[in-house]
Amino acid sequence: MSRTPIESRLHQLHEQLAGQGSGELASYIPQLSAANPDWFGLATTTVDGKAYCAGNSGLEFSIQSVSKPFVYAMALVDRGEDYVLDHVGIEPTGDPFNAVTLSAASGKPLNPMVNAGAIVTSTLVEGKDHRARAERIRDGLSRFAGRELSIDENVARSERDTSDRNRAISYLMKGAGSLEIDVEDALSCYIAQCSVLINAVDLSVMAATLASGGRNPLSNEQVVPPELISPVLTIMSTCGMYDGAGEWMYRVGLPAKSGVSGAIMAVLPNQLGIAAWSPPLDRHGNSVRGVKAMELLSDDLDLHVYFPTGASQSPIRRVTSSQVVRARTGRTPREQEILSTHGNQLRIVELQGSISLLGAQEVVEGIADTSTSESAGWLVLDVRQVAEFHPGALKIVNEALVALVESGVEVAVVETQHAGGRRSPQSWRVRMDRDRDLVLQRFEDELILAECGAMPTPGVLVELGECQILATLTSEQLAVVAGLLSFADHSQGEVLVASGDRPTGISWLLSGEVDLLVPVESLIDSTRLRGIGPGAVFGELTMVNDGFDRASAVTTQPTRIAFLSTHRWDQLELDEPDLASAMLRGLAELLAGRQRRMLELLESMAETQF
Ligand code: GLN
C-alpha cells in the first residue's frame, strides 16, 4: 500500500536526520549511556486513531521526564487544581531540568516539568504509600498509551544509585516544607515513574490522547476529563522543553515534553500527537534529532498553534420557514393555505460545522430575526449537522435562545442522539428534541390554531367534499362517487397496505391518521415518510398507473376510510368520463402542489452553499 502524506514525511525525516551525529547520551544514569546513539524512531497518531511511524518506532525506552505532564494530570484528577497549585508553581524556570531552584518566597518548586516540581507532583497522586502511588502512575500512563506498560527495574536501579542530585533537591524541599513525605519514598515513586517503558508509537498515542481532549483515540477511554487538557498543555508550552522552551515555542510552536532518554512528544490540539525518540541530547537535555525532526515537520505543515487559520465556513447552513419546509404530516387544503400564508412565523434555522465564538455571534444574529416577525413565532434550531460547539459559543447561543423564549417565542433545538464534542442533552437550556419532523408538526399545529382558532385534531370527521382530489366536484358528482365507495372503520395499528404490495384502490381518510412508512435498508425499523390525516388520500396513483409504491400504510389511531377499488375506478372512467376527468384534474392539482413544494425545497437548498 502506498504511504499516506504524513507517513511519507516521517520516512523522509528519518532518512534526512538518521546520519546526523551530534549530541551526547545522558551519562548520569548509567543505564541510559548504554543506548545506541543511532536509534531513531518517529510516530504520529491522529485524534481519529490513525497511527503512522518510521525508524525504530517499536523499540522500548524509559519514558523519563515525558511522564511529567501525564502525572501532573493525574494529580489534578486526584487532588483538584487548588491543592496541586498550592504545592507546585506554574512558572518557567529558565534553568536546566535538574536545577536546584525553588521559589524564594515559598520554597515551592517552580513548575511540575522540572525535576523538583515533578518529584512533589508524584507524591500528590492517590495512593497509601509510594508503591501504591507508583502503581497508580504506571496504570495511568498505560491508559494514556492504550496498553499495559511495565517498569524497567534496571533503569530504576541505575537511577536510584545515582540520584544524588534529585535527593539533594528533595531534602531541600523537605526542609522548606514543600515536600511533605519521606525523601526516599518520594524518590522511589518518582524513579519508578521515570522508568516506565514505552516506544515511539505509544508516545504518539499518549500525545494524541492529550490532543483529543483526554480521550485515548485507540481505546476510546476518557483517561482524564477534558477540562484538564488546557492546564496541562499550557504548562507543556511554557516549561516542557526546560530552558529551551522559548526557542521551541518560537520554532515549533507546539506544547511538548522531552526526556533524557531522548524522547520528545508534541501535541497539535484537536488533531495530532507526534513522538520522536533518539538518545543523543543537546545541552538542554532534549533529543537533537527529535528537536530537528519536529522543527522540520512543523515548518513543512505549518503546525504552529498560532498559525492563522483564516476565515471559516458559515455556521448557518440554511434559514427557512414552514412556508417551504413542512412536517411530513397530512394537512387539509385549508391548513396548507394557512401554512403558505403565515408559515414565515415558524422559522427553521439549520447550523453546520464547528461553531466558534465568532460563528456563534452570526447564529445569534440569525435567530434574533425570528422575534421581529409580526407575532411571537416559533423557532426550530436544527443542530444535527454541527460537529462541535466551542463551549463559549454554546453559552452565547443558549443565552440568545433563552431570551427568545422569554420574549414569547416557542423554541426547540433538534439534536442527534450522538452529538459530537462536549455537547450533551444537558447542554441546552431550552427544549431539546430528537425528531425534527414531530417538532415541526407540533409547531405547525400551534401556528394553525393561532391563525384560525381551531386545532386540526386528526380524529375529526371530514366530509367527502373536503377531501383531496374530490374538493372541486359538484354535489351531484360527489353523490355518484359516494355510491361507489365502501366505508370501513379500522382500529389502531392496522396495516392497510403492506410495503411492496400494490394498493388495490384509492383510500380517503375521513377521520384518524395513517403513517406512510418506507423500509430503510440501514435501519432495522422503517422510517416515517409522512403521516396523513383527515381529508388526505393514499393509493391515488392507481388512478393513472398500477400505483406501485414502496411505502406501507399503517393506522396510528382509529381511522375511518372511504375506499374506491381500482376496478370501480376503471368502470367510472368508462361510464362517467366527465366525472373521471374532474377527478383526474384534482389528482393533477394535488401532484402539481407537491411538485411546487419540492421545487421550493430544492431552491432553498441551492441557496446555501455546501
Ligand atoms: N529521571 C530523570 C531525572 O530525574 C528524568 C529527567 C529527564 O528526563 N529530563 O533526572
3-state DSSP assignment of residue 61: strand
Neighbours of 85 (CB within 10 A): 14
- Per the prediction, the chain carries an average pLDDT of 90
pLDDT at 608 exceeding the cut of 60: no
Confirm if 24 and 283 have CB atoms less than 8 A apart. Answer: no
Residue scoring higher pLDDT (435 or 77): 77
Residue with cell 401554512: 339
Residues with Cβ within 8 Å of 519's Cβ and at least 6 positions away in sequence, in order, are 499, 526, 550, 552
Confirm if 346 and 321 have CB atoms less than 8 A apart. Answer: yes
- The C-alpha atoms of residue 336 and residue 329 are separated, in whole angstroms, by 11
pTM for the predicted model, two decimal places: 0.75
Between the CA of 225 and the centroid of ligand 1 the distance, in Å, is 27
3-state DSSP assignment of residue 101: coil
- Locate the ligand 1 atom nearest the alpha carbon of residue 118 and give its number: 4
Catalytic site positions: 65, 68, 190, 242, 260
> How high is the pLDDT of residue 24?
93
Residues with Cβ within 8 Å of 478's Cβ and at least 6 positions away in sequence, in order, are 464, 465, 470
Between the CA of 9 and the centroid of ligand 1 the distance, in Å, is 30
- Locate the ligand 1 atom nearest the alpha carbon of residue 65 and give its number: 8
CA-proximal residue: ligand 1, atom 4 (nearest): 115
Between the CA of 481 and the centroid of ligand 1 the distance, in Å, is 93
pLDDT tens profile 222-273: 999 999 999 999 999 999 998 888 999 999 999 999 999 999 999 999 999 9
- Locate the ligand 1 atom nearest the alpha carbon of residue 64 and give its number: 8
Residues with Cβ within 8 Å of 423's Cβ and at least 6 positions away in sequence, in order, are 386, 388, 389, 394, 415
Among 29, 167, 189, 194, the mutation site with the greatest number of ligand 1 atoms within 8 A of its Cβ is 194
pLDDT at 374 exceeding the cut of 70: no
Residue with cell 464547528: 354
- The C-alpha atoms of residue 561 and residue 525 are separated, in whole angstroms, by 26
> Residue 369 gets which letter from DSSP?
G
- The C-alpha atoms of residue 52 and residue 85 are separated, in whole angstroms, by 36
- The C-alpha atoms of residue 411 and residue 138 are separated, in whole angstroms, by 49
Describe the crossing of helices 288-301 and 5-18 by its angle, rounded to 10 degrees.
140
> Per mean pLDDT, which of 251-255, 365-369, 493-497, 507-511 is the most reliable?
251-255
- The C-alpha atoms of residue 62 and residue 438 are separated, in whole angstroms, by 58
- Locate the ligand 1 atom nearest the alpha carbon of residue 191 and give its number: 1
**For range 483-489, the mean pLDDT:** 95
pLDDT tens profile 297-312: 999 999 999 988 766 7
Among 115, 161, 203, the mutation site with the greatest number of ligand 1 atoms within 8 A of its Cβ is 115
Range from 138-147, 443-452, 479-488 carrying the lowest mean pLDDT: 443-452
Task: Identify the sign of the CA torsion 439, 444, 449, 455.
Answer: negative
Using CA atoms of 93, 248, 62, 38 in order, give the dihedral in degrees to the nearest 10.
-140
Strand partners of residue 386: 353
Between the CA of 68 and the centroid of ligand 1 the distance, in Å, is 10
pLDDT tens profile 348-361: 999 999 898 999 99
- Locate the ligand 1 atom nearest the alpha carbon of residue 66 and give its number: 8
CA-proximal residue: ligand 1, atom 2 (nearest): 64
Identify the H or E element spanning 595: helix 577-606
Residues with Cβ within 8 Å of 136's Cβ and at least 6 positions away in sequence, in order, are 74, 78, 125, 126, 127
Among 24, 93, 98, the mutation site with the greatest number of ligand 1 atoms within 8 A of its Cβ is 98
Between the CA of 244 and the centroid of ligand 1 the distance, in Å, is 15
Between the CA of 231 and the centroid of ligand 1 the distance, in Å, is 22
Amino acid at 205: V
pLDDT tens profile 570-605: 999 999 999 999 999 999 999 998 898 788 878 877
- The C-alpha atoms of residue 189 and residue 483 are separated, in whole angstroms, by 93
> How high is the pLDDT of residue 437?
86
In this structure, the strands spanning 526-532 and 41-46 are unpaired
CB-based pocket (< 6 A), ligand 1 = 64-65, 97-98, 115, 159, 166, 194, 259-260, 285
Q: Domains along the chain?
A: 5-301 (3.40.710.10), 316-452 (3.30.750.24), 464-587 (2.60.120.10)
Of 205, 172, 166, the C-alpha closest to 63 is 205
- The C-alpha atoms of residue 142 and residue 247 are separated, in whole angstroms, by 31
